[in-house]
Structure 1
Amino acid sequence: MIWDWVRTEALPGRRVTGVRELTGGFSNHNVAISTDDGNTYVLRRYRGRNACAVEAALARRLAGVVPVPEVVAADETGRLAGEPALLSRFRPGRPLSDVLASADAGVAEQCGRAVGLTLARIGTVSFEAPGFFADASLTPGPPGVEPAAGLDDFVQRCLAQGDAAGHLTAGEQRALREHAARATALLVAVHGCRLLVHSDYNPKNLLVDADHGRWRVTAVLDWEFAFSGPPLVDVGNMLRDPRPPGFAEAFVGGFRDAGGGLPPDWRELSAALDLYALADFLTRPPEHRYFQRALHRIRELLARTG
């Protein structure tokens, strides 16, 4: 049914000449579609949470702000396609994760600066309140919610609901709760922030390319987790894992130079905000790679902070 929608509704008058799977898209299924007029598109099918309406609305709002794939067609409810589906124009570029895997210091610095500049531009988009998006209106909600509040309770729930007990010692769990309590108090400083947050801003969701010898961001992908809140969430995400020499410093410098807000304690704040994601990963199955990564990063965090 979905291919009928592609041919008759999304791309009428064009013939599909090729289909290939795309890497990435851990929560969704993405394929590249070639047509007889020489164009290429990306069909996004939603495996779990249906974020089609939100992603389509954000793509339209971000046009001219940062490079995002142009929406060609969207069936937000799946009424015509049989399932929620989003068709966008294919964007050129290489995954930043692939580029950084073999980057020298010069390439890493250029990419870092470009990624920081792009993040600062994302943060120029503001909303009336903090909160989460539920539909194409991009109205943050529910009313009165503060995304950066209650970290201590969130960590406690993740420890209780996940399989952390079999992998973190009782002492490590206690230390994590104590750290979360301290971080909760620290995060009061970012309450009320109502800027656009990608919430999965890392190298696998960024395409880059060299333009006349200078690396630039050609697309920011996968906006399904975006919300209204503090951009330091994305800073913490990008700096969570080790990066090639020169990348992190250039990323921070590019972000700051383009107007991104970095208070004196930004490192502590961004790490505290990133703990939401690390704790959430503890609710994944133990064999999941994100579960194992979260254990490693949490142990590093506790070692640094005592």
Structure 2
Amino acid sequence: MIWDWVENTALPGHRVTTKRELTGGYSNHNVAFTTDTGDTYVLRRYLGDDAGAVEAALARRLAGVVPVPEVIAIGHGALVSRFLPGRPLSEVLADAETDADATVVEDLGRSTGETLARIGTVSFAAPGFFADGTLTPGPPGIEPASGLDVFVDKCLAEGNAAGRLTDAEQRALRTHAARATPLLTAVHGLRRLVHSDFNPKNLLALEVDGRWRISAVLDWEFAFSGPPLVDVGNMLRDPRPPGFAEAFLEGFRAQGGDLPPGWRALSSALDVYALAAFLTRPPEHRYFQGALARIRDLLASAD
């Protein structure tokens, strides 16, 4: 039993008194719980690959760089971390947009950009993906930002796009990926920390002294070593409240984030990896449906 492990190994001597399910992603299930000491934690259970060792190692590496939950224990395909206060950025932005509160939107946009730039200050020996807690990028010689055309073709062939994207749309997406692939040589060799799911649902925000700031960056299971423009493309994929994108880019630059010539086309091309990967998820999944809409927008703007 997972809760036996929590009480006897992860937090020996503690007893769980309350539990509350948190909104989760496709690859994990999260439960906030309080113990008899009054402390609150989060139990994260991986539904796919066990990324606990990687997330724990990244939490240690990021201490003092950006706010991340402290990892208490890993095991049994799960991770226990301390609960950090804050509201999902997605919720705060929705409220601010409803209230037409431009100051809140701009504060959060700027803080989000600053946070992303600080993530990019963490570097590794090479580009690549993390297989374990050593955070050694691999496999050797693999460039994460290469082969976009091959990746898109594979996702279309093996995923669930058939019957949801027309044959013409699938051909157009393949053509778009083939044209974008050579552009990405501009970011080959970059070896910065990439969150790879950097969007408002994975960020917490807090109001401190009348100003809103990012208080935590969550869900690092997809992180890798590569070009930070991956995260820029992710954050700008969907429409944001007026003023957010401009403040986000301003904060990113001010904190030292690099936006090279042609960065918009590069970040958009890098985001196609995620959109294509979403096509391999079940058609009823919200990410699948969102990917269809975003791909159609992308193809329309490319005409």
Q: Shorter-chain TM-score: which interval?
A: over 0.9
Is 1:209 aligned with 2:176? no
Mapped partners of 1:286, 1:73: distance in 2: 35
Per-residue displacement from partner, 1:134-167 (whole Å, max 9, x unpaired)? 0000000000000000000111111111232312
2:88 to 81, 95, 101: 95
Report the TM-score, using the length of structure 1 for normalisation: 0.95
Counterpart position of 1:278 = 275
In the TM superposition, residue 121 of structure 1 has moved relative to its aligned partner by 0.3
Q: Which amino acid aligns with 2:206?
A: D
- C-alpha displacement of 1:239: 0.5
1:162 correspondence with 2:155: no
Match of 1:9 in 2: 9
- Partner of 1:292, secondary structure, is helix
Aligned counterpart for 2:262 among listed residues 256, 262, 265: 265
Letter in 1 for 2:139: P
Amino acid at match of 2:244: F
Alignment pair present for 1:26 and 2:26: yes
2:68 aligned residue: 68
Deviation of the 1:200 alpha carbon: 0.3
Q: CA deviation at 1:216?
A: 0.9
2:138 alignment partner in structure 1:
141
Q: How many angstroms apart in 2 are the aligned matches of 1:284 and 1:247? A: 29
Contact 2:50-2:78 at 8 Å conserved across structures: no
How far apart, in 2, do the equivalents of 1:184 and 1:202 lie? 24
Q: Which runs of 5+ in 2 are unaligned?
A: none
Q: Secondary structure at the match of 2:190?
A: coil
Name the SS for the 2:137 alignment partner: coil
Return the alpha-carbon distance in structure 2 between the equivalents of residues 31 and 164 of structure 1: 32
Distance 1:64 1:18 in 2: 30
CA distance in 1, matches of 2:173, 2:15: 55
In the alignment, is the contact (CA less than 8 A) between 2:109 and 2:246 conserved in 1? Answer: yes
User: For 1:50 and 1:178, how far apart are their aligned partners in 2?
Assistant: 35
User: 1:88 & 1:295 partners in 2: Cα distance?
Assistant: 34
Deviation at 1:171, TM superposition (A): 2.0
Aligned residues: 299
Q: Aligned to 1:102, what secondary structure does the other structure show? A: helix
Partners of 2:164 and 2:36 lie apart in 1 by 53
Q: Is 1:236 the counterpart of 2:229 in the alignment?
A: no
> Could you list the runs of 5+ residues in structure 1 that have no partner in the other structure?
76-82
Higher mean displacement: 160-169 or 148-157:
160-169
The aligned counterpart of 1:38 is 38
CA distance in 1, matches of 2:20, 2:265: 42
Instruction: Note closer, same or farther for the CA distance 1:178–1:25 as it changes in structure 2 (3 Å cut).
Output: closer
Q: How far is 1:267 from its partner?
A: 0.6
CA separation in 2, counterparts of 1:285 and 1:73?
Answer: 32
Contact 2:109 2:244 in 1 (8 A): yes
Contact 1:68-1:220 within 8 A present in 2 as well: yes
Alignment of 1:80-229 (within 5 A): 83-103=76-96, 104-229=101-226
What are the superposed Cα offsets for residues 155-211 of structure 1, whole Å, 9 maximum, x if unpaired? 111111123231222222222111111110100000000000000000000000110
Residue type of the alignment partner of 1:102: D
CA–CA separation in structure 1 for the residues paired with 2:181 and 2:235: 21
Hey, what does 1:294 align to over in structure 2? Answer: 291
Amino acid at match of 2:13: G
**Is the 1:126–1:228 contact (alpha carbons within 8 Å) kept by the matching residues of 2?**
yes
Question: SS of 1:87's equivalent?
Answer: strand
Asked if 1 retains the 8 angstrom alpha-carbon contact of 2:89 and 2:205, the reply is yes
The CA deviation string for residues 27-85 of structure 1, in whole angstroms up to 9 with x for no partner, is: 2111111122221111111111110110011011111110000111222xxxxxxx222
CA contact (8 A) 1:24 1:204 kept: no
